[in-house]
Amino acid sequence: MALRDVLLDELRDMYSAENQLVKALPKLAKGAQSPKLKQLFTGHLQETKGQVERLKKVFAELGEKPTGQHCNGMEGVIEEGKDALEKDEESASFDSGLIGAALRTEHYEIAGYEVCISMATTLAMPNVAKLLSSNLKEELAAAAKITTAGIPLMKQSAQEPDEQKKPKTGKEKYSAKKSREDEAKAAPDLNTSTV
């Protein structure tokens, strides 16, 4: 497979990811309890819509269509955000969970844009690299804003009293089971003596 084809696959992945976020960000904004966090998610939604438009320009520059690939990675990260929204909490701890989900989303995008920019640069596509760099700068700024907004929320959360644990939901039990399976599968390949 030629590098240009790999780049197209990566770009289609990013296009799908951004479109999925256009649908997910309003739910995060609605679910957030902190007004600052609500504002950040709403503001990033507008940026994300602009990123979709820039990606369309990238595809036009390449003479290709943007569709044709679903981003399973972003789907999984968004699912984690949904899990955070389903927590039955009314405290700063709830928003701390949303911050974690939002930062995973941002870092997924940052990694995707960085690799696409590297490929476009290698392929001597300066216009493509420039458009993608604009998206990357917005993602880096969004991650920094979310981190900054999270500091006082996490400090507040740390001051909250521990609540009595509620029984695990079916989804939480399933997740715990999968985690144990992951650990068991990895155990033979881990060499704990080097840690």
Residue 52 domain-assigned? yes
How many domains does the structure of the chain reveal?
A: 1
Could you report the per-residue pLDDT of 66-84, keeping only the tens digit for each? 988 999 999 999 988 888 7
User: Does residue 106 belong to any structural domain of this protein?
Assistant: yes
Does position 119 have pLDDT exceeding 60, yes or no?
yes
The reported pTM is 0.84
What digits encode the pLDDT tens for the residues 147-195?
999 898 888 888 877 666 666 667 667 777 777 887 877 878 887 655 5
Lowest mean pLDDT among 40-44, 129-133, 187-191: 187-191
pLDDT for the residue numbered 165 = 63
Residue 185 inside a domain? The answer is: no
In a domain, 194, yes or no: no
Residue 136 · residue 114 · CB < 8 Å: yes
- In this structure, is residue 9 part of a structural domain? yes
Residue 168 lies in a domain: no
**Amino acid 144: pLDDT:** 97
Domain containing 62 equals: 3-160
Q: Is residue 192 part of a domain?
A: no
CATH number of the domain bearing residue 77: 1.20.1260.10
Please report whether residue 72 resides in a domain: yes
Reply yes or no on whether the pLDDT at 42 is more than 80: yes
Confidence label for 56 from pLDDT (cuts 50, 70 and 90): very high
Over residues 3-35, the pLDDT tens digits come to: 999 999 999 999 999 999 999 999 999 988 889
